[in-house]
Amino acid sequence: MQNTCEIGNEMELSFDSRSSNEAFARVTIASFMTQLNPTLEEVSDVKTAVSEAVTNAIIHGYENTLHKVKIHAWIQGKTLWLEVADEGVGISDVKKAMEPLFTTRPELERSGMGFSFMEAFMDEIEVISEVGKGTTVRMKKTIGKGRELWTTQSL
Amino acid sequence: MKYEVQENCLTIYLPGDVDHHQAEEIRQEADRLIERNHIRYVIFDFAGTNFMDSSGIGVIMGRYRKVYMLGGEVWAVHVNERMKKILIMSGVTKIMQIYEEEKTNAEYM
């Protein structure tokens, strides 16, 4: 019996806070999670959540100035864990920031739905932030929940 | 990315990924065309699109605000199941209609 609490695989990614790197980040995570044998739907869900978190780091965390965005990803059993971190301005009121349609940047046509999308597409999300220090968004998603486990039946 | 103007109607053929990076470019070009051609109807064509995040929702809402004062409308066409899920979930379907093509007999078979 495999110990499902053990960390199966782990990776770290650090890249410039340029909008062109948003695609790079989500494609990299999509590639990393293929070892969990996810459905296309599950891959799309994770890609959307990564895109939202990285976009937040670039626009809000770093206010479009050039610094590093870091992603730490690991797999524990059938669960994918993700941490997207910036060392930017931080969030003074996390609860408010996570309200649907709330945005501090309406002039940039931000829809205020970034955190709502992350919550909808991942199983859990936690936001750790300190003003002046930065923000870390930790998310997890268990892969394969929606499928019947017929392959695991003993023959 | 391709844009097409026919009278007062603008069709935006969206890229494969509609994210924050692509949204900036779509917004600038679309607004330039909307103002220059007195556009009232904006059609977002999703035929080549497989990914969209909340930045794309921002682009749709922004274009809607530009044309609705003039009695205009925004539409989505060629929407796949994933894109439909994103559009409905975001609530943007309250201001934008999804054009559904009637299936031909051949597609039912």
Provide the pLDDT for residue A22: 98
User: Helix, strand, coil proportions of chain A in percent (round to 5)?
Assistant: 35, 30, 35
Q: Give the H/E segment covering residue B106.
A: helix B105-108
Fold of B2-108: Transcription Regulator spoIIAA (3.30.750)
- Inter-chain CB proximity B19 and A22 less than 8 Å: yes
Strand pairing report for B41-45 and B9-13: parallel
Provide the pLDDT for residue A150: 47
> Is the pLDDT at B67 greater than 90, yes or no?
yes
For residues B82-108, average pLDDT: 84
Mean of the per-residue pLDDT values for chain B?
93
CB B15 within 8 A of CB B1: yes
- Inter-chain CB proximity B90 and A111 less than 8 Å: yes
Active-site positions of A read: 52, 56, 110
CB B60 within 8 A of CB B44: yes
Provide the pLDDT for residue B108: 54
Distance from CA of B39 to the nearest CA of A (A): 20
- Inter-chain CB proximity A23 and B19 less than 8 Å: yes
- Where do the structural domains in chain B lie, given as residue ranges? 2-108
Which domains does chain A carry?
7-152 (3.30.565.10)
Which of B54, B89, B93, B96 is the best residue to mutate to test the A interface, defined by the most A CB atoms within 10 Å of its own CB?
B54
Provide the pLDDT for residue A155: 40
* Angle at the Cα of B89 from the Cα atoms of B85 and B91, rounded to 5 degrees: 125
Provide the pLDDT for residue A79: 97
Instruction: Give the ipTM.
Output: 0.89
Provide the pLDDT for residue A4: 53
Q: Alpha-carbon distance B90 to B73, whole Å?
A: 18
Q: Alpha-carbon distance B65 to A50, whole Å?
A: 28
Q: What is the mean pLDDT of each run of 10 residues along chain A (155 residues)?
A: 69 97 98 96 97 97 97 97 98 95 90 94 97 98 72 42
Q: What's the pLDDT tens digit per position in B9-61?
A: 999 999 999 999 999 999 999 999 999 999 999 999 999 999 999 999 999 99
